[in-house]
Amino acid sequence: MKDDPTPLEMELVQLHPRRPSADCEQRLRQGLNAASRATTAGGDAGSRSRFGVLRGWCAAALGAAALVLLAVLLVERGRNKAVRTAAGPTRVVFRPAAAETEGDRAAVVATGTVLYGIADGGTTVAGTGVPVRQVRLFLLEQARWETAGARASFEIVRPREEVVYVPLPLL
């Protein structure tokens, strides 16, 4: 197909599709960063069992609960369908853990959760018949490991998505 372009083709080429919004570009950049970090951390499968025994997990859950509360407030205030994303990591909650390092054995020294995005999933009806708003939270779970004297350290970052339902008041 080496034919010369027709006038119609030339007119179509002159049209400029709308650009993705700056918000879209930013969200995409954050998503790619999260995906890259997750890959660098070595994937989920190998680390999942170790994550199951981390002692600082309860603190991370509490931090996530606080962020859920923040998300609820944001959604209740805005009530629109657009996806909203924090300009950067909303909060990093690092909790020092009791490091028990012996020799070259690494131990977890801090854990935390970062909320990097929130999406409004729309209105639906709960099993009880109550209208609820679905809120999707995009989180990164982080854990830092160090050997005694911090001669070596590494971090595991795992992306996670949570869905929470917020009961809507019946007017």
Partner 1 sequence: MNWTEWFREHGPGLLLYARQWTPSRAEAEEALQDGFIRYWRSRATQGREGVPADRDLPLLFVAIKHAAFDRARRRRRRHEREAAAAEELYDRDGWFEATPADVERVRRIEHALEALPADQREVVVMKIWGGLTFRQIGAALRTSQNTAASRYRYALAALRRELQREDRAR
Choose between 107 and 159: whose C-beta lies nearer to partner 1.
159
User: How many other C-beta atoms are found inside a 10 Å radius of the C-beta of residue 62?
Assistant: 13
CA 70 to chain centre: 15
Choose between 15 and 87: whose C-beta lies nearer to partner 1.
15
Please state the closest distance from residue 81 (CB atom) to partner 1, in A.
6
Rounded to whole angstroms, the Cα distance separating 171 from 34 reads 40
Choose between 83 and 148: whose C-beta lies nearer to partner 1.
83
Please state the closest distance from residue 63 (CB atom) to partner 1, in A.
25
Please state the closest distance from residue 23 (CB atom) to partner 1, in A.
8
Please state the closest distance from residue 110 (CB atom) to partner 1, in A.
26
Binding site residues, partner 1, CB under 8 A: 1, 6, 8-9, 11-13, 15-21, 23-25, 27-29, 31-32, 35-36, 39, 81-83, 121-125
Q: Is 46 helix (H, G, I), strand (E, B) or coil?
A: helix
Rounded to whole angstroms, the Cα distance separating 155 from 166 reads 33
Choose between 27 and 110: whose C-beta lies nearer to partner 1.
27
Please state the closest distance from residue 164 (CB atom) to partner 1, in A.
16
Secondary element (H or E) of residue 42:
none
Candidates 39, 44, 58, 49; CA nearest to 111 is 58
Choose between 44 and 104: whose C-beta lies nearer to partner 1.
44
**SS (HEC) of 56-67:** CHHHHHHHHHHH
